Structure 1
Amino acid sequence: MAHKKILVVCGTGAATSTVVAVKLKEFCLTNGYDVSITQGKVSDILRGQASADFIVATTQVPASVAVPVIAGLPFLTGMGLDQTFAQIEAALKA
Structure 2
Amino acid sequence: MRGRVIVACGSGVATSQAVASKIARLLKEKDVDAEVEAVDIKSLKHHIGGASAYVSIVKDDTDWGIPVINGVSFLTGVGQDTELQNLIDALRG
In the TM superposition, what are the counterparts of 1:1-94 in structure 2 within 5 Å?
2-46=1-45, 48-51=46-49, 52-94=51-93
Q: Give, in whole Å, the separation in 1 of the partners of 2:57 and 2:47.
A: 18
> Does the aligned pair in 1 maintain the 2:6–2:47 contact within 8 Å?
no
Structure 1, unpaired ranges of 5+ = none
Instruction: Give how far 1:63 is off.
Output: 2.2
List 4+ stretches of structure 1 deviating above 4 A.
none
Secondary structure at the counterpart of residue 47 of structure 2? coil
Fraction of identical pairs, as percent: 27
Letter in 2 for 1:45: L
Instruction: Give how far 1:36 is off.
Output: 0.8
Instruction: Give how far 1:62 is off.
Output: 2.7
Structure 2, unpaired ranges of 5+ = none
Query: What's the TM-score, normalizing by structure 1?
Result: 0.87
Q: Give, in whole Å, the separation in 1 of the partners of 2:26 and 2:3.
A: 14
Letter in 1 for 2:34: V
Instruction: Give how far 1:83 is off.
Output: 1.0
Give the aligned length.
92
Secondary structure at the counterpart of residue 25 of structure 1? helix
Instruction: Give how far 1:49 is off.
Output: 3.3
The alignment yields a C-alpha RMSD, in angstroms, of 1.4
Query: What's the TM-score, normalizing by structure 2?
Result: 0.87
